A and B are shown apart, each in its own frame.
Chain A
Amino acid sequence: MPLLSFLIAFPLVAAVILLLVRSDKQRLVIVKIAAAVVAATAVITAAVFFKSGTVNIKINSEAFSRIVLILEIVLCGVIAFLSFRAKRILVGLLSITETALIVWFELAVGESLTVQADVVIDHLVIIMILIVGIIGSTITVYALGYMKDFQEKEKDVADRRPFFFFVMYLFLAAMFGLVLSNNLLNMYFCWEVTSFSSFLLIGYTGTKEAEHNSFRALWMNLLGGLAFAVAIVMLGCYDGTVEISRMIILGTKGADVVLPAALLVFAGLTKAAQMPFSSWLVGAMVAPTPTSALLHSSTMVKAGVFLIIRLGPVLGNNMAGILAMFAGSFTFLFASFAAISQSNGKKVLAYSTISNLGLIVCCAGIGTFESEWTAIMLVIFHAVSKSLMFLTVGTAEHHVGSRNIECFDGLFTKMPQLATCMVLGICAMFLAPFGMLISKWAAIKAFVDSGHALLLFALVFGSAATLFFWAKWLGKITAIVPEQKNVEKTVHGEEWFAIKGLSILTVITCVFFPMISSSVVVPYLKDIFHAATEVISEGNLITMSLMVIILVLLPVISSGHNKKKHTSINLSGVNAGSDVAFRGSISDTVPLSLRNWYLEDLFGEKKVMSLGNVVNIVTIAVVFSLLFGGMFHV
């Protein structure tokens, strides 16, 4: 227990110190130490609780819940104040409504409820702690170097770095709290803190666009928070519990927890940026890159899917499960399509995140052993490789001068090491034998076995689109353009540390895929489902991890052995001296420039996204009208 308190309290302390420290040099030291401590604590926690199986801990303290309640009211006050100041009354009212609901509930009903376990630690929580602790803290180290360049480049943006790092560490603390909570009331508080922190981070630059996008993120997440609050009230009033574990036991025993489950799924959908709420995550890229990396990979959106995965056993073939399945699979399909038409690197990443989360949500919604296995695996591999991608794009942006993929021409010659890491990140996102793809393979099996043909169709077409947009990006950066200057000498050490560290982590997680499956994920699911099925055979998994090793070793072995003649490229014979220009029709020299396909006509962002939003709004509306209708019918 002291270990867990330290896990949550230490980032908070670090956050406060970072808020107070103004000197760059001191911040450099503090963030590095804090990151190391957070990561180490996460690893130690994981090691301590790994063997012990599921551990339930009860906080026997009236004062604790009172403090949480007071903090909730304070948080609501701050949100309301900021919203009213920005003349966004509705956002403020949303916050007040849900907090009022929770306060009423806790004072009126909360007293009579007995809580058996406030904190539950099982293998899923351990995985989340590791993701947040290792990847989250790596991103804060990266932010050191990045924010220095950022403030130098963006002269108009006020230097509020102490505040920035404060919020980042606050975020980590809230995430630890969120994944550890079994008591929904505590989880709700952490949930709101993450919403609020992401609001602060997105609005960091203070521009009009940033303010607009940050409030959009806020209201969407508050809407999810409201659903969360309603779910708590319903659970408390009808089923007499506010614990997830109790809720799952009740649900599997046949009690009707579908409506609260559906509400919680809805909350998860908003946080995981599923359509129609995906626009907040796309809008979040106005913030400095470390923010996006944090939101997309290890924190925020992962909180949403974490909740839905947790609820897995009570989902399945009921309205709540159907909501998750369909909303998730439609999001997967449409977001993959939308990514094709994007040339802005961060936007491609945003859509890819949304689509992958869609797949996770969908798998979690099916609620079978296989699908939960897939969902958890996707969470792990997505967190690692997506954070790597964001960090490489952020660094590339600062040194190439644009985040447009078309400007990454010749990245391999301009920034060879960075490009190598980016190639690894991209491959890890969509190619066999890396983890993401093996998980998708498992998803196919899980979908067939659960008998959902529609989901399968979304999966096969979405995968094809995924292949297309990643491969064309991969092609762009692997193109070797002659006569480029190396510009990666000025990349900060902190950035290299984070990028290379995550690259190594990507390879390690993929190589140890069979081990992660057999020693962490399968035991957890066995506990939950009391049975085990083989998702992908051990032999296949080992073959895949051998393939990873081959793929990583091959470039190392084959480099430096090549003494072949190099020729110029085919420009129909009109090459003008070198391979970067040709002779035009009047013997003038025309620079050569190559552009990718974006298929705007077929997969235009507006078209695809509005279609997806409509489809998903209808899905959500149908599910909830059926649920509420069913409730009042009796």
Chain B
Amino acid sequence: MKSFEKKSPWILHYDATSCNGCDIEVLASLTPRYDIERFGMVNTGNPKHADVFLITGSVNAQSLPVVRRLYSQMLEPKVVVAVGICANSGGVFRDCYNVLGGVDKAIPVDVYVPGCAARPESIIDGVERALDILEKKAKMLHDGRLQELQEMDKLPPMPDFSAKKEAVV
């Protein structure tokens, strides 16, 4: 028997700096062809409701605080899925002056979905994998290990941009 967390993952999708390629693929998975709702997945657009944080695109100076805020507003148990190569590592934009890099530079990431753009099948697969982690985290929460969990999902210190900026200047 699957846990309820696994049967009802609600997703928050955020476009950090994506070129929209991955975003279109994310939306494609909502369409009748892929229909992620059959897994109980819902695109909520609200960090307060979401269990899975799906990020496309690399993190830059503008989106960094937003990513961190949205992540911190999500309630335990929660998992992060970085979709597409930019979200994984910064992709072709990694050397841009304002780009920090992959999502994992800003917040802890649980699953990386590669691709440029990532295919709907692989996105769904990535979320499914994230659900295994979500289930484990849920178990921790139900065992009363909330503090341990919070420690695990803690926001890393605010990354420093200054070195990169100076290098560019």
Comparing B63-71, B86-94, B110-118, the segment that makes contact with chain A is B63-71
Q: A23: CB under 8 A from chain B?
A: no
Residue of A nearest to B48 (CB): A570
Q: Could you tell me the distance between the alpha carbons of A290 and B53 in the complex, rounded to whole angstroms?
A: 56
| Interface band, chain B | 10 to 19
Q: Could you tell me the distance between the alpha carbons of A572 and B73 in the complex, rounded to whole angstroms?
A: 10
Inter-chain contact count A-B, CB under 8 Å? 24
Q: Within residues 564 to 580 of chain A, which ones have a CB less than 8 A from any CB in chain B?
A: 567-568, 570, 572-575
Q: Which of A568, A570, A574, A587 has the most CB atoms of chain B within a 10 A radius of its CB?
A: A570
Q: Could you tell me the distance between the alpha carbons of A567 and B66 in the complex, rounded to whole angstroms?
A: 15
Say whether B73 contacts A583, CB under 8 Å: no
Residues of B within 8 Å of A567, CB to CB, are 48, 73, 75
| Interface band, chain A | under 10
Residues of B within 8 Å of A570, CB to CB, are 46-48, 73
Say whether B46 contacts A583, CB under 8 Å: no
Give chain A nearest CB distance to B147 CB in angstroms: 12
Say whether B66 contacts A573, CB under 8 Å: yes
Give chain B nearest CB distance to A319 CB in angstroms: 60
Where chain A touches its partner, the secondary structure class is loop
Q: Within residues 535 to 579 of chain A, which ones have a CB less than 8 A from any CB in chain B?
A: 567-568, 570, 572-575
Give chain A nearest CB distance to B52 CB in angstroms: 16
Given A567-B73, A568-B73, also A573-B67 (CB < 8 A): yes
Say whether A573 contacts B46, CB under 8 Å: no
Q: Could you tell me the distance between the alpha carbons of A575 and B14 in the complex, rounded to whole angstroms?
A: 16
Q: Within residues 69 to 107 of chain B, which ones have a CB less than 8 A from any CB in chain A?
A: 69-70, 73, 75
Give chain B nearest CB distance to A615 CB in angstroms: 47
Residue of B nearest to A576 (CB): B65
Residue of A nearest to B66 (CB): A573
Q: Could you tell me the distance between the alpha carbons of A572 and B48 in the complex, rounded to whole angstroms?
A: 11
Residues of B within 8 Å of A583, CB to CB, are 65
B-contact bits for A574-607, CB 8 A (1 contact / 0 none): 1100000001000100000000000000000000
Given A567-B73, A568-B73, also A573-B14 (CB < 8 A): yes
Residues of A within 8 Å of B47, CB to CB, are 570, 573
Residue of B nearest to A585 (CB): B62
Residues of B within 8 Å of A574, CB to CB, are 65-66, 69
Residues of B within 8 Å of A573, CB to CB, are 14, 47, 65-67, 69-70, 73
* A575 in complex: contacting residue of B62, B67, B69, CB < 8 Å: B69
Give chain A nearest CB distance to B3 CB in angstroms: 22
Residues of A within 8 Å of B48, CB to CB, are 567, 570
Residue of B nearest to A587 (CB): B62
Give chain B nearest CB distance to A373 CB in angstroms: 48
Residues of B within 8 Å of A572, CB to CB, are 66
Residues of A within 8 Å of B62, CB to CB, are 587
Q: Could you tell me the distance between the alpha carbons of A172 and B62 in the complex, rounded to whole angstroms?
A: 67
Q: Which of A570, A572, A573 has the most CB atoms of chain B within a 10 A radius of its CB?
A: A573
B-contact bits for A349-381, CB 8 A (1 contact / 0 none): 000000000000000000000000000000000
Give chain A nearest CB distance to B31 CB in angstroms: 25
Q: Could you tell me the distance between the alpha carbons of A573 and B14 in the complex, rounded to whole angstroms?
A: 10
Residues of A within 8 Å of B65, CB to CB, are 573-574, 583
Give the A-binding residues of B (Cβ under 8 A): 14, 46-48, 62, 65-67, 69-70, 73, 75
Q: Mind listing 15 A-B residue pairs with CB under 8 Å? A: A567-B48, A567-B73, A567-B75, A570-B46, A570-B73, A572-B66, A573-B14, A573-B47, A573-B65, A573-B66, A573-B70, A574-B65, A574-B66, A574-B69, A583-B65
Q: A568-B69, A587-B62 are in contact. List 7 more A-B contacts (CB 8 A).
A: A568-B73, A570-B48, A573-B66, A573-B67, A573-B73, A574-B69, A583-B65
